[in-house]
Amino acid sequence: MPYKAALVGNPNSGKTSLFNDLTGSNQYVGNWPGVTVEKKSGFTAGKEFEVVDLPGIYSLSPYTMEEIVTRDFIIDQHPDVLVNIVDGTNIERNLYLTLQVLELSIPTVVAVNMIDQVRGGGGDIDCDRLSAQLGVPVIPISAKTGYHVDKVMKTAKKLAGTNWRAEDVVRYDSASRQMLHEIVSILADYCDDSDRLLFYAGKLVEQDENILRRLKLPEEAIQAVDRIVALFLSKAEYGDRETVMADIRYRYIEKLVAGSVKKPENSGALSTTDKIDKVLTNRFLAIPIFFLIIFLMFGITFGPVGTFLQDCVDYLFNDILAPAVSRLLLIANAPDWTHSLLVDAVIGGVGGILTFVPQITLLFMFLSFLEDSGYMARAAFIMDKIMRKFGLSGKSFIPMLMGFGCTTPAVMAARSLENEKDRNLTIMLTPFMSCGARMPIYALFAGVFFEDNREIVVFSMYILGMAVAVLSGILLSKTVFRGVFSPFVLELPQYHMPSFRAIMLRTWEKSKGFIIKAGTIIFAMSVVVWFFQNFDASFQMVSNSGDSMLGQLGKWIAGLFAPLGFGTWQAAVSILTGLVAKESVVSTMNVLYADGGSISAALSQVFTPLSAYAFMAFTLLYMPCISAFATIRREMNSMKWALATALYQTGVAYLVSLLIFQVGSFVTGML
Amino acid sequence: MEQPMKHRRKEPQNLHELGVGQCGVVTEIRSTGAMKRRLVDMGITPGTTVYVRKVAPLGDPIQINLRGYELLVRGSEAREILIRTGV
- Asked whether the predicted pLDDT for residue A408 surpasses 90, the reply is no
Say if residue A16 is in the same domain as residue A161. yes
Indicate if A16 and A69 belong to the same structural domain.
yes
Which of the residues B28, B30, B40 would you substitute to probe the A interface, choosing the one with the greatest number of A C-beta atoms within 10 Å?
B40
Examine the pLDDT at B6 and tell me if it is beyond 60.
Answer: no
Can you tell me the mean pLDDT for A297-319?
85
Same domain, A94 and A155: yes
A381–B39 CB contact, under 8 Å: no
The predicted-structure confidence for A431-472, as pLDDT tens digits, reads as follows 999 988 888 889 889 989 998 888 889 889 999 999 999 999
Length of chain A: 671
DSSP state of A239: -
pLDDT, position A594: 63
Q: Look at residue A533 and tell me if it is in a domain.
A: no
Could you tell me if A161 and A217 lie in one domain? no
**A127 lies in which domain range?**
3-167
| A12/A110 same-domain check | yes
Mean pLDDT of chain A: 88
What percent of chain A has pLDDT above 70?
97
Same domain, A112 and A84: yes
A12 and A90 co-located in one domain: yes
Q: Are A87 and A94 in contact (CB under 8 A)?
A: yes
Do residues A161 and A104 share a domain?
Answer: yes
A233 & A140 share domain? no
| Contact flag A488-B71 (C-beta cutoff 8 Å) | no
Summarize the confidence of residues A35-49 as an average pLDDT. 84
Given an 8 Å threshold on Cβ–Cβ distance, is A385 in contact with B29?
no
Minimum CA–CA partner of A92 in chain B: B67
User: What are the C-alpha distances in Å from A397 to residues A331, A369, A551?
Assistant: 53, 17, 40
Domain count for chain A, please give it. Answer: 2
Asked if A43 and A23 touch (Cβ cutoff 8 Å), the reply is yes
Domain CATH code at residue A207: 1.10.287.1770
Residue A476 lies in a domain: no
* Nearest 10 degrees: Cα torsion A163, A202, A421, B32: -170
Of the candidates B45, B58, B67, the beta carbon closest to that of A243 is on B45
Yes or no: say if A613 and A660 are a contact pair by the CB < 8 Å rule: yes
Name every residue in A having a CB less than 8 A away from some CB of B.
58-59, 61, 63, 89-93, 96, 206, 239, 242-243, 246-247, 250, 263, 277, 281-284, 286-287, 377, 380-382, 384-386, 388, 485, 487-493
At residue B2, the pLDDT reads: 46
* CATH node for B11-84: 2.30.30.90
Cross-chain Cβ contact A247/B63 below 8 Å: no
Check whether residue A39 and residue A17 sit in a common domain.
Answer: yes
Which residue in the set B41, B54, B68 is minimally distant from A281, CB to CB?
B54
Rounded CA separation A51/A43 (Å): 6
Last residue of a domain, one of A262, A287, A320: A262
User: Taking 70 as the threshold, does the pLDDT of residue A522 lie above it?
Assistant: no
- Asked if B45 and A384 come within 8 Å (Cβ–Cβ), the reply is no
Between A93, A247, A381, which is nearest B61 by CB? A381
Which residues of A fall within a CB distance of 8 Å from B57? Answer: 281-284, 286-287, 382
Least Cα distance to A642 among A659, A655, A624 occurs for A624
Domain assignment of residue A640, yes or no = no
A166, A163, A192: which is closest to A181 by C-alpha? A166
Q: Do both A256 and A187 map to the same domain?
A: yes
Q: Are residues A31 and A123 in the same domain?
A: yes
Tell me: the pLDDT tens digits for A646-656? 999 999 999 99
A386 falls within a domain: no
Q: Which residues of A touch B28 (CB under 8 A)?
A: 239
Other beta carbons within 10 angstroms of residue A193's beta carbon come to 13
A243, A262, A281 - which closes a domain: A262
Asked if the ipTM is above 0.85, the reply is: yes
Q: For chain A, say whether B46 makes contact (Cβ under 8 Å).
A: yes
The answer on pLDDT for B1 being more than 50 is no
Contact B69 A93 (CB under 8 A): yes
Cβ(A508)–Cβ(A357) below 8 Å: no
Q: In chain B, where are the structural domains located?
A: 11-84
CATH number for position A26? 3.40.50.300
